[in-house]
Amino acid sequence: MTTVGDGIPSASVTPGRFFAEPVRDYVLAGLRRPVSVLQAGCLAPLRELGIGALAEDGFEVTVSVVDADEPAAREVLAQTADAYDGVIVGDLRTVPLPPRGFDVVYCGHLLERVPHVELVLDRLVGALRPGGLLLIRVTDRDSSWALLDRTLPSAMRRAIWRRLRPGVPGPFPAVYEKGATGRGIASYALLRGLVIAQRREDHTLGRLPASLRFASAVITWASHGRLASQHDALLYVIRKPEDRSARVVTS
């Protein structure tokens, strides 16, 4: 079955080919064999991968989704289940995933809202075929927005969520472990022998109220730039090598 689902509305989808180009290159290199994608996190903006264009060109792409067994995720998945070939719900540290069962794992808007980031990534990497792509979009813990998200009152978080994602259940927890940072992801890739092929910083929350944008700038100033307001999202294209001795690059 070919899946063209776009997932749910997202406040942080930006135009561009950052993910779509490496996915297309991977599909073309596969000589038209079927390609399987695992969307890790029900909030991932799947259209970033360009799957619809691949399907229109005659490529067979199947998409499954996995997320934690918690109320907001279950509600989102209930709304979007028809867009996927498979839906997996469970403890992300232990949920059964087929070993080496997917060509592409797209982990979007997940790592910032779950505990045990390294264990969750281990499960996702274990489900990735050698040579496959791990795509990550994460709100950077080391950004001023992440600090605001962790400390704002619940009522304000709900109001912001409704503004940015109207009709989507939420907000989700604001966990932001140290693994949900550039340093954390670089360290994880190095220890697991993964190759960081591309990295990009994005500023994606321009629709925030002016008062929060001002607060974000003040946090950046007060932290002497340690908590950046220039970006709030980190994007990675990471390859699982065929050869475990492959060198990790971080540029």
With pLDDT > 70 as the criterion, what percentage of the chain qualifies? 90
Domains of the chain: 20-140+174-204+231-239 (3.40.50.150)
CB < 8 Å & 24+ apart, contacts of 188-194: 188/117, 188/118, 188/121, 189/238, 189/248, 189/250, 190/248, 192/121, 192/122, 192/125, 193/241, 193/244, 193/245, 193/246, 193/248, 194/125, 194/134, 194/238, 194/239, 194/240, 194/241, 194/248
Average pLDDT over residues 198-205: 88
pTM: 0.89
Residue 225: pLDDT over 70: yes
pLDDT at 145: 92
Comparing 27-36, 149-158, 176-185, the range with the smallest average pLDDT is 27-36
> What is the band of 16 on the pLDDT scale with cuts at 50, 70, 90?
low
